[in-house]
Amino acid sequence: MKKKIWIVSIVVILMAALLFGYNALNKNKKITTAVQPTAKVTRTDLVVKVSGTGTVSSVNKATVNSSETGKIASIKFKEGQKVKKGETLVTFETEDMTSQIQKSELQIQQKQMDYEDLKKKYMDATEEERASMNTQIEQKKLDMQLAQIDLQDLKDKQAKSTVVTSPINGTIVTSAIHVGDQVSPNTVIAEITDYDNLESIVQVDELDVDKVKAGQKVQMTLDALSDQTVEGKVTAVSQEGTASNGVASFDVTVSITKNDSIKIGMSLQADIIVQSKENALVVPIEAVHQLGGKSFVQLASAAEGTTTGSTATGNKETGAAAAPSEQPQEDKSNNANRATNEGATNRAKNGNGNGTNRTDRNTMMQNMKEIEVGIHNESYIEVLSGLEEGEQILLPAVKASTGSSAQMNAGFGGLGGMGGGNFGGGQGGFRQSTSSGGQRTSGGGGSR
């Protein structure tokens, strides 16, 4: 008998210890609350950008070759020297044609005299003699014409350009020729680079290249000049893309405003301004939801009761599940009410209940305001109609608990089909541009 009493006592003690531990654990459980941030409808300059990366290069670059065979008589430049288009770079030694020209001129004079003398004889000749002299006269005339052509060839050769000139404005980068060198056609005379006119070939993602047009302004930052922002503009957009890792990118040529600190080969990040609007009415992009192709925001002033109800626990959540006209009554069917309240609370916590969730959803739907939206970047979206400056709107709830990190409640307590929408935080329909490769990133104007 005593043995049974001991066994029962031990069991009772163990059950009591377990019950005590369970109650202590529940008391120390961290209470999760939903932090519902708000934002004010404001005005700001809204800028939409497409980003890409590239390196600095020269607009004009030329390799100067010899166009003829000859010996270099003089070199008119040094490496590192700036030259202008048309400026003489080298001269060649040429054969003196003066004596040949003089000899040819004397020959022509002699032929002219022979021709005149034959014409005189023709006048004194008989009819029979004239018949044979006609042929002689025509031959003399032809000889003079040929002699004139030969003379002109000699003069042209004497006057022929024996120099090589620069085809562009720029700086002599390299040269390996010397005075006295015998060169042939296509021998490299010099390499010239124009350092005053720089550009960059920027890689733009296929999803964004259709927004890029020639003439658009570009803001660039260089790794080597992190304290400067360089201006430029789009000059050309390639019609053919290059695929890498399943993502195509297109070359966009961007001219760079002259800056003596910029060197060829420097890497840069380019933000192409594809859209902009001054003093636009805007809201944070994550505040906008889409339903049935329409855009909505949740008004903060009308949603205060819902926010309070949804952030509370225990009986406050149960109160939110009840009809608005119903008020909790004390000492009336206490056991039934307690069971009902506990069941509703548990269902709300588990996401399976119909009371609280349905009420919160209906209340939120009543607080939603339809708006018309315009352009947007990754932070803000333009409001064309439906809101006024200064109005307060709700942002996605942040669930926070002691000792744990905050989480965004994009669904607003189960608002079906609305959470995140096509704009929320740069996801969904909001497409981010690419800098290069397969990872898609975006630049954008405005900061929160």
| pLDDT tens by residue, 17-71 | 777 666 666 655 555 555 679 999 999 999 999 999 999 999 999 999 998 888 8
Instruction: Scan for tokens 């405005």, then name that residue.
Output: 446
Is there a common fold for 49-58+196-274 and 63-94+162-188? no
What pLDDT sits at residue 161?
Answer: 61
- For the cut 80, the answer to whether the pLDDT of residue 176 exceeds it is yes
The pLDDT tens digits of the residues spanning 83-96 come to: 999 999 999 887 76
Q: Which of 64-68, 321-325, 412-416 is the most confident on average?
A: 64-68
pTM: 0.57
pLDDT band at 140 (very low <50, low <70, confident <90, very high): confident
CA neighbor of 48 nearest in space, from 379, 384, 370: 379
Q: What is the pLDDT at residue 6? A: 64
Any idea how long the chain is?
A: 448
DSSP H stretches of helix in 199-354: 304-311, 315-321, 334-350
E strand intervals along 178-323: 182-183, 188-193, 198-205, 217-222, 225-244, 247-256, 267-284, 289-291, 294-298
* pLDDT band of 366, cuts 50, 70, 90: low
> Confidence band (pLDDT; 50, 70, 90) for 396?
confident
Domain 49-58+196-274 CATH class label: mainly beta
Q: Distance of CA 203 to CAs 50, 182, 264, 446, Å?
A: 11, 45, 17, 23
Q: pLDDT at position 272, please?
A: 97
Q: What is the CATH number of domain 63-94+162-188?
A: 2.40.50.100
Q: What is the pLDDT at residue 351? A: 44
pLDDT tops 50 at residue 106: yes
Question: What CA–CA distance (Å, rounded) separates 155 from 147?
Answer: 13
C-beta of residue 219 within 8 angstroms of C-beta of residue 235: no
**Per-residue confidence band for 355, with pLDDT thresholds at 50, 70 and 90:** very low
Mind listing the pLDDT tens digit for each residue in 195-216? 999 999 999 999 999 999 999 9
The predicted model gives 263-281 an average pLDDT of: 96
HSE-CB at 254 with a 13 A cutoff on CA atoms is 33
Mean pLDDT is lowest, of 140-149, 298-307, 388-397, 435-444, for 435-444
Q: What is the pLDDT of residue 26?
A: 60
Position 101 scores a pLDDT of 86
Domain boundaries, the chain: 49-58+196-274, 63-94+162-188, 97-159
pLDDT at 219 over 80: yes
Asked if residue 185 lies in contact with residue 66, where contact means CB atoms within 8 angstroms, the answer is yes
* pLDDT score, position 132: 80
